[in-house]
Amino acid sequence: MVKESIINILIDEERCTGCILCKLWCSYIHHKIFNPLKANLEIKDRYGLAPKIIFLDTCIKCGQCVQHCLYGALRLKEEDN
């Protein structure tokens, strides 16, 4: 099921592969280090049957994660229009 997040990003968790390209880029661009724990989004159960993508309160809505999701799990809302 495609969900709409608070930051104008469509989330399709079924397409998430757990590659964490989004989290790695987020931590790198905002904290200058590759560290998924510093990313502003979380992926729970990323190698399980039903991963959950959650944007944290620290997210500044830059949309960079979307640019780095190659599987279509994160898309900007405009892209669907």
Partner 1 sequence: MELKGYTGNILNVNLTDNKITVRKQNVDDIKHFIGGLGINTKIAAELIKPNIDPLSPENYLIIGVGPLVGTITPGSSRTVGTSKFPATGAIAYSCGSMSFGFQLKNAGFDHVIISGKADKPVYLLILDNNIDLIDAKEIWGQDIVESTHFLQKKHNNCGVIAIGQAGENLVKSSLALIDRTSTFGRGGLGAVMGSKNLKAIAVKGTLGVSIANPKKFNELFSNLLERIKNYPQRESWHQLGMMRSLPVGMLLLDSGQKKKARQCNERFYLRKLKKRRIACPSCPMGDKDILQLQEGSNSGLLNYTSSIINPALMFTLEDLINFDEAIKGYDIVNRYGLDSLTITSLLKFCTILYEKGILTEENTGIEWKTDYNTLIKLIEIITYRKEFGNLLADGWKKLAEAYNSIENEMLTVKGLDIIFEPRILRLGTMEFEQVVNPKGAHVASGGSPTYIGAGSSIEKFNIHFSRMGIPKSAISRIFTPPLEEMVVNIGRLTRYSEDWYTVLTSVGLCARAQMNRFYGLESTTDFYNAITGYNMQPEDLRIAAERTWNLIKLLNMKEGFSRKDDKFPKEWFNPLKFGDKILKFQDFFGQTIITPEIANQLLDDYYDERGWDKITGIPTQAKIRELGLEKFQFINN
Q: What do you get for the CA distance between the two ends of the chain, in Å?
A: 17
What gap in Å lies between CA 81 and CA 52, rounded to an integer? 24
* Binding flag, residue 3, partner 1 (CB under 8 A): no
* C-alpha gyration radius of the chain: 12
Which single residue is written with the structure tokens 């399709």? 12
Contacting partner 1 (CB under 8 A), which of 1, 6, 32, 78? Answer: 32
- Residue closer to partner 1, measured from CB, 9 or 20: 20
The answer to whether 7 and 55 are in contact (CB under 8 A) is yes
Q: Footprint of partner 1 on residues 44-73 (CB under 8 A)?
A: 46-47, 49, 68, 70-71
CB of 45 to partner 1, least distance (A): 8
Residues at the site binding partner 1, with contacts judged by CB under 8 A:
14, 17-21, 24-25, 27-28, 31-35, 37-38, 46-47, 49, 68, 70-71
